[in-house]
């Protein structure tokens, strides 16, 4: 089990960004005054060095400090991207600052702003992908200052994830989105499942792509983001199993990560491939059947594709938390959409390794990598790319 998996197992909450925000939520001691977050690593001396593959904190020159002070003559908060560098400055009174080292920026970038004048703090961050970055940033534990939350969309290639379900969007597409409890065989019990049915799939799934995934509480967000960006989901069914609300132990880690608890893992896989598939498909084999998921769910989607015989035709694998394979056989005729954020280094490395492994065994692989972190801004872009490509394929 990876350190990240252990973290999630302890927290019992998902989805949550693997950031200081998540740490504070999970650890009561961390949320208290004794919790002092660490600063971001310093940049290398020369721009463009290998260390710039992830954001780093760039020391402010006297000229840069003067420029930030000038910006705050007419405002209390300013940010701007100049080339490969993000500049942030803010005016705060001591009572507004949660930590003794200064105001703390979160979450794709996690760092202190340094004091540059009375009640003025600033910092700059260098990254070789900053010009195209997808960032959603705010100061940690700062109350009453909504203007200090800001988003950066550096490239029109990627979209920001809408974090709320848009009323009426599914209905206007003549689709259905329902949440109910589905029964499971044996000792597994029942689970809450959200199911989306596109306009062409409400009566039968025969001509549809049916996608099964954990993280069912986010189905509405994924579907809405696709529809809001003009992607036709008329020929899709998405069945999302919610995190284990009905299980007081909160066993997501055991259900989705291979080797954490083989019995529980097997029970969840049987529920998805047998009990849930029977109820969602009503005995009709869909045109295509996919596994999908993000983070630990991404690891599960990969294993579901390679271990479940011909049950799954493909997978959407987003930011897989870990990977190992249970099969070295041919995957010719199957396909995968794989992606991660450049800022989530270990997940990006896992996704790249999985993509290479699947290609070596004959699977058709499409990769999408996003200049963002471990969250919906990454996953929505991978998801949208997969759904759009599947919709473009011949009916």
- Name the band, by pLDDT with cuts 50, 70 and 90, for residue 5: very low
pLDDT at 377 over 50: yes
Q: What is the mean pLDDT of the chain?
A: 87
List, for residues 65-123, the tens digit of each pLDDT value: 999 999 999 999 999 999 999 999 999 998 889 898 999 999 999 999 999 999 999 99
Please, are residues 4 and 19 in contact by the beta-carbon 8 Å criterion? no
pLDDT at 130 over 70: yes
Alpha carbons 118 and 350: distance in angstroms, whole number: 45
pLDDT at 306 over 50: yes
pLDDT at 293 over 80: yes
- Name the band, by pLDDT with cuts 50, 70 and 90, for residue 23: very low
Write down the pLDDT at residue 279.
Answer: 94
Write down the pLDDT at residue 74.
Answer: 93
Write down the pLDDT at residue 139.
Answer: 94
Write down the pLDDT at residue 49.
Answer: 62
Write down the pLDDT at residue 27.
Answer: 33
- Name the band, by pLDDT with cuts 50, 70 and 90, for residue 32: very low
Mean pLDDT on 349-376:
96
Write down the pLDDT at residue 317.
Answer: 98
> Residues spanned by CATH 3.40.50.1820 within the chain?
169-392
Write down the pLDDT at residue 249.
Answer: 53
Mean pLDDT on 279-289:
96
Query: Which listed CATH number (3.40.50.1820, 3.20.20.210, 3.30.360.10, 1.10.287.3610) goes with 169-392?
Result: 3.40.50.1820
Please, are residues 170 and 224 in contact by the beta-carbon 8 Å criterion? yes
List, for residues 163-222, the tens digit of each pLDDT value: 778 889 999 999 999 999 888 776 667 888 999 999 999 999 999 999 999 989 899 999
Closest CA to 214 of 154, 287, 134, 296: 296
Q: What is the pTM of this model?
A: 0.88
- With helix as H, strand as E and coil as C, how does the chain read? CCHHHHHHHHHCCCCCCCCHHHHHHHCHHHHCCCCCCCCCCECCCCCCCHHHHCCEEECCCHHHHHHHHHHCCCCCEEEEEECCEEEEEEECCHHHCCCCCCCEEEECCCEECEEEECCEEEEEEECCCHHHCEEEEEECCCCCCHHHCEEEECCCCCCCCCCCCCCCHHHHCCCEEEEEEECCCHHHCCEEEEEEECHHHCCCCCCCEEEEECCHHHHHHHHHHHHHCCCCCCCEEEEEECCCCCCCCCCHHHHHCCCCCHHHHHHHHHHHHHHHHHHHHCCCCCCEEEEEEECHHHHHHHHHHHHCCCCCCEEEEECCCCCCCCCCCCCCCCEEEEEEECCCHHHHHHHHHHHHHHHHCCCEEEEEEECCCCCHHHHHHHHHHHHHHHHHCCC
- Edge-to-edge strands of the sheet including 288-294? 176-182, 191-197, 236-241, 209-213, 288-294, 314-318, 335-341, 364-370
Write down the pLDDT at residue 165.
Answer: 82
Alpha carbons 293 and 356: distance in angstroms, whole number: 19
* Number of CB atoms found within 10 A of residue 334's CB: 20
List, for residues 309-330, the tens digit of each pLDDT value: 889 999 999 999 988 888 788 9
Alpha carbons 316 and 334: distance in angstroms, whole number: 12
Closest CA to 169 of 212, 221, 205: 221
Q: Kindly report which listed range (26-35, 168-177, 209-218, 338-347) carries the lowest average pLDDT score.
A: 26-35
């Amino acid at each position: 089990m990876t350190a990240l998996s252990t973290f999630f197992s302890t927290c019992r909450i998902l989805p949550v960004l693997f950031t200081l925000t998540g740490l504070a939520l999970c650890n009561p001691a961390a949320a208290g005054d004794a919790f002092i977050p660490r600063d971001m690593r310093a940049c290398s001396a020369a721009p463009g060095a290998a260390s710039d593959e992830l954001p780093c904190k760039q020391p402010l020159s006297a000229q840069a400090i003067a420029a930030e002070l000038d910006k705050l003559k007419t405002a209390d908060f300013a940010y701007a991207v100049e080339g490969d560098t993000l500049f942030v400055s803010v005016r705060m009174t001591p009572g507004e600052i949660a930590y003794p080292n200064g105001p703390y920026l979160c979450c794709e970038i996690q760092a202190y702003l340094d004091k540059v004048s009375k009640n003025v703090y600033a910092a700059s961050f260098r990254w070789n992908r900053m010009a195209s970055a997808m960032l959603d940033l705010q100061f940690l534990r700062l109350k009453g200052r909504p203007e200090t939350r800001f988003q950066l969309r550096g490239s029109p290639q990627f979209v920001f994830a809408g974090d709320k379900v848009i009323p009426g969007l599914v209905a206007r597409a003549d689709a259905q989105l329902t949440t109910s409890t589905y029964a499971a065989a044996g000792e597994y019990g029942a689970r809450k499942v959200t199911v989306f049915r596109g306009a062409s799939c409400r009566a039968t799934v025969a001509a549809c792509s049916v996608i099964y995934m954990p993280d069912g509480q986010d189905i509405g967000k994924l579907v809405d983001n696709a529809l809001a960006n003009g992607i036709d989901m008329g020929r899709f069914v998405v069945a999302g199993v919610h995190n284990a609300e009905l299980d007081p132990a909160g066993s997501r880690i055991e259900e989705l990560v291979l080797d954490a608890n083989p019995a529980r893992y097997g029970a969840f896989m049987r529920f998805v491939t047998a009990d849930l598939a029977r109820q969602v498909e009503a005995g009709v084999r869909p045109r295509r059947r996919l596994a999908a998921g993000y983070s630990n769910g991404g690891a599960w989607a990969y294993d579901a594709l390679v271990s479940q015989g011909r049950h799954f035709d493909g997978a959407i694998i987003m930011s897989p938390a870990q990977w190992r394979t249970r099969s070295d056989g041919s995957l010719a005729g199957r396909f995968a959409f794989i992606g991660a954020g450049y800022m989530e280094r270990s997940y990006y490395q896992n996704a790249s390794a999985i993509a290479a492994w699947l290609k070596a065994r004959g699977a058709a692989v499409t990769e999408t990598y996003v200049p963002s972190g471990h969250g919906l801004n990454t996953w929505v872009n991978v998801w949208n790319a997969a759904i759009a490509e599947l919709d473009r394929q011949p009916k």
